[in-house]
Amino acid sequence: MSLELSDVPNLGQSPTNSEVIAQHLRNAIVTGQLHEGEPIRQDEVAALFKVSKIPVREALKHLEAEGLVAFQRNRGAVVHSPSEAEIVQVYEVRAMLESNAIRLAVPNMTAATLDKAQRMCDEFAREQDPFRWARLHWEFHSCLYRDAGRDFLLNMIQSINNRTERYLHIQLTRENGRDTADTEHQALVDACRRGDPAEAARMVHEHIMRACSLLQRHLPKPTAA
């Protein structure tokens, strides 16, 4: 078989149906429109997007890999309900990876990176729309990690963050969580400006684990059988 370059489609030109569906379902899970344990009916999603079930299944498998969807016998796909122990482990891994990323990034940070981080910090502090918090929160943190020059590490961190996005609203709306996050974000930018990788790494680790502790205090308790 011989293919000319003109015959090959530009796969990066636009998202596939499965990618669009995955993003739609991801947003619904993160914002709480789909609740933990709620079934995701493939035929309904396919009808909504006017597609076959094939891209829906592909989207659900992708979300399963992100830890947002689980497949159960006799129920099909449901929104994953992680245990408290599982959530804590995810935050522990986040703290280890993200503190290492910023430790590697600080020595390479440019003025442009620091200026962008400050803008993102300020934008997150001003934002009142809770539906935009998760995106701005990720943009702020990922901005500080990119100068590490570790693309695989950053992709892994983003994948793990996808598992915890749905809990950000709890973190920010309990016990002055929003003010605490804003204060810690600014302190982190200041540590980066001072060129102190050890202090920045310590701050990131404590920032994530403090959020985990707050979340544990406010997670819905499982009902007794």
The CA distance from 211 to 180, in Å, is: 10
Bridge partner list, 72: 76
Domain assignments of the chain as residue spans, ordered by start: 12-79, 84-218
The per-residue pLDDT for 225 is 42
The per-residue pLDDT for 185 is 97
Class of the domain covering 12-79: mainly alpha
Class of the domain covering 84-218: mainly alpha
Average pLDDT over residues 155-169: 87
Domains 12-79 and 84-218 share a fold: no
* Reported pTM: 0.78
Q: Output b/e per residue, 175-202; b: 16+ Cβ within 10 A.
A: eebbebbbebbeebbbbbeeeebebbbe
Q: Would you say residue 113 has pLDDT above 80?
A: yes
- How do residues 42-75 score in pLDDT, each as one tens digit? 999 999 999 999 999 999 999 998 888 999 888 8
Task: Please indicate whether residue 170 or residue 111 has the higher confidence score (pLDDT).
Answer: 111
Are residues 93 and 160 in contact, defined by beta-carbon separation less than 8 angstroms? yes
The CA distance from 140 to 142, in Å, is: 6
Average pLDDT score over the chain: 87
Bridge partner list, 39: 78
Are residues 182 and 130 in contact, defined by beta-carbon separation less than 8 angstroms? no
